[in-house]
Structure formats: C-alpha cells, structure tokens
Homo-oligomer: A and B are copies of this chain.
C-alpha cells in the first residue's frame, strides 16, 4: 500500500513530536521538514526551506504559530497539497479562516483541516457529542493546570520578551487564571511588556498575571490537562452527567491529532473542514470494516 507522504512545516515543540510520531505511523512517511532558515535542526532527515525539494507530498502539517496559519496554508493548498493546522482562535476568526481555506482548497483540489488540535479539535467533538446526548444543559471546559503552547507562543512574540511560559490554572466552571512567566531582553521594560500581554485578545478574557523570572527551565513541564463536564437533560430525564478528562504531554497529543487528521484528508472531498466536520472513523488507519469490528 502506498504510504501517505507528509511534510512537517516548522520544527518547534509540535514539529519535533510530529517527526517522532510519523516514524511510528505505518501508513505514512516523512517527506521532510520545512524551516524558514536551515541551520541547527533535525539530523538524518531532509530539511529545506520549500516543499519542492521533497518530491511529491500529500499533506503538510503546519506546526507553526497559530497567527501565521492564514498566510502559510494557502502556499500549500495552491500546490494541491493538503494542509493540517492547529489554529486555535475560536469563534468568528475560526469561521473566517475555514471559509477562506475552503475556497483555496477547492481551487487546488486539496483538503484543509483547520483547528486540528485537542482544543479546538477533539474537545470540540466532545462538546458536540455531549450536546447531542443531552441537548439542554451546561457545558464547562476547564484547562490545566498546565502549560498552554499557543499562549506561550503569543507572549514570546512580544518585543522585549526573550522567552515565556503561559501556565493555565482552572478556577472552575470555565474560568481560568493565566500566569505568564517571562524572561526579558536587555533593556526591556517589564511594566510595558506586562501591559502588552494583558491587552492581547488571547489573554483579555481571563485573569492574567505576568511574572518576571530569571530562568524558565523549572516551568517547562509539558503536561497539560482538560476536563469537560456537561450536566443536562435528554427529553424528560434531567441530571444526565457527562465528563471527559485528559492528562497529556501536550505537544505530543497535538502532533498526533494532526497526523490523524492528515490521514483523514486523503479520504475527504476537496474543501476545508474542522475536526468535527469529519467522520471520526476517517481519523484511523485501516478499512472502515476493520475499525468497526475492532472498536465499535
């Protein structure tokens, strides 16, 4: 059987894990890693600044900061290469990105899966299922304690910040506190940086503390967690209690979900999809019958 040829765009936490996980995925092979500049990077695998160097590529995992996804995905879709991204801005921004990528994907006869992470992503599917089981009710999504990659990346992008780690603490019922640990560049003014972080849309909705430290290593644990609960009713039955809990190494879960979504792109019609718009069975290797026999 022909293997799905996948390139990994970016080589940060998620990119590294994607390379690792692809090596353990029997129906796929790594075409190479794309980086803006070659330099210190992975050894023993092809690295280039453009996808052309790798021969035919079926799908590109965009393991890049969320905010540059809207400009990066089109480069691949126009070449007829499927894209999988972990875009994490919810609401209107997500609807817009999906719409733009949908047009480009159809033009390129390609498939784009957007928001292919665990939240948004698999958690979104859980919220949908919980709502299908108990349509009237209250869902709460509580993250952490753990480090949020997207939030860390955002804080790191602020000029004057040398490095940052965003710790998410669940206060309960969907409320969170964000503790942002930062190391600063020479001459940076802490109060200005703290204000800039707090003003970002990603942080504005939560209570955010910015904490200056000399050393970030003690904060760099990659474990993260989520708990989704729904208390609702199905028809006349109230008190339907649904709960999902995950405790995961975050970048590895993110990379693995992108890989599963890459598999699904090979089974979908051209266009763009969020994870919840894909039949879950298409995320898994093998024939539908084999999967049904094994896990339905």
Interface residues of A (CB under 8 A from B): 17-18, 20-21, 24-25, 90-92, 94-95, 98, 115, 118, 120, 122, 124-129, 131-136, 139, 222, 233-237, 239-249, 251-253, 255-257, 260, 274, 276-281, 283-285, 288-289, 291-293, 295-296
- CB of A198, distance to nearest CB on chain B (Å): 25
**Top 7 closest A-B pairs, CB basis?**
A21-B235, A237-B252, A237-B249, A234-B256, A132-B260, A132-B283, A20-B235
CA gap between A17 and B240 in the complex, in Å: 14
CA gap between A97 and B139 in the complex, in Å: 35
- CB of A216, distance to nearest CB on chain B (Å): 21
Which residues on the B side are within 8 Å of A21 (C-beta)?
234-236
B276-A249 in contact (CB<8A): no
Copies of this chain held together in the complex: 2
A256-B296 in contact (CB<8A): no
Given contacts A21-B236, A243-B246, A274-B281, 4 further A-B contacts (CB under 8 A): A115-B296, A132-B260, A133-B256, A277-B288
Checking B133, B243, B248 against A234 with a beta-carbon cut-off of 8 angstroms, the contacting residue is: B248
Checking B90, B98, B122, B252 against A132 with a beta-carbon cut-off of 8 angstroms, the contacting residue is: B122
A133-B118 in contact (CB<8A): yes
A235-B132 in contact (CB<8A): no
A295-B20 in contact (CB<8A): no
A279 and B281 in contact, given A139-B295, A244-B243, A291-B128 (Cβ under 8 angstroms) = no
Checking B128, B133, B281 against A253 with a beta-carbon cut-off of 8 angstroms, the contacting residue is: B133
CA gap between A237 and B256 in the complex, in Å: 10
B296-A132 in contact (CB<8A): no
Which residues on the B side are within 8 Å of A94 (C-beta)?
292, 296
